[in-house]
Homo-oligomer: A and B are copies of this chain.
């Protein structure tokens, strides 16, 4: 279903040239329908394992940021030393386990509608995200 042809289309549609490296990264990110969260370092390790050729770290950074800009990836707001990205680009929220550093999706439906009764002059809301930190019971 998500094969090379689709990746090329996906890239073309968003004005990105379908280079060999970008297609490889697409394979890792989008091949299976299950979405996941990752840091750049984790992604780089997965790529190193799954793909025969190596892709430079700079390219991984560049590509991930390009995908983010195009809306193919989301960046998750957590205050840690590294950035977390998400292949689930739908609007949703997160659990974060500070112990295991694990992120878990919290779907939009699992949260009652959020109503913000304040606004900032001259500004409009671009996103509203909940981060639920969890700890061991």
Contacts and interface: CB of A to CB of B under 8 A. Distances in A.
A125 B132 contact: yes
- Give the size category of A's interface with B: 35 or more
Given A76-B79, A130-B130, A137 B123 contact: yes
B110 A123 contact: no
Interface of A: 75-79, 83-84, 95, 97-98, 104, 106-107, 109-118, 120, 122-137
Contact of A117 (B75, B111, B114): B111
Contacts of A133: 125-129
A88 B98 CA distance: 21
Given A77-B78, A114-B114, 18 more contacts: A77-B77, A77-B79, A95-B120, A95-B123, A106-B116, A107-B118, A110-B118, A111-B115, A114-B130, A116-B130, A116-B132, A126-B133, A126-B135, A127-B133, A128-B131, A129-B130, A129-B131, A131-B131
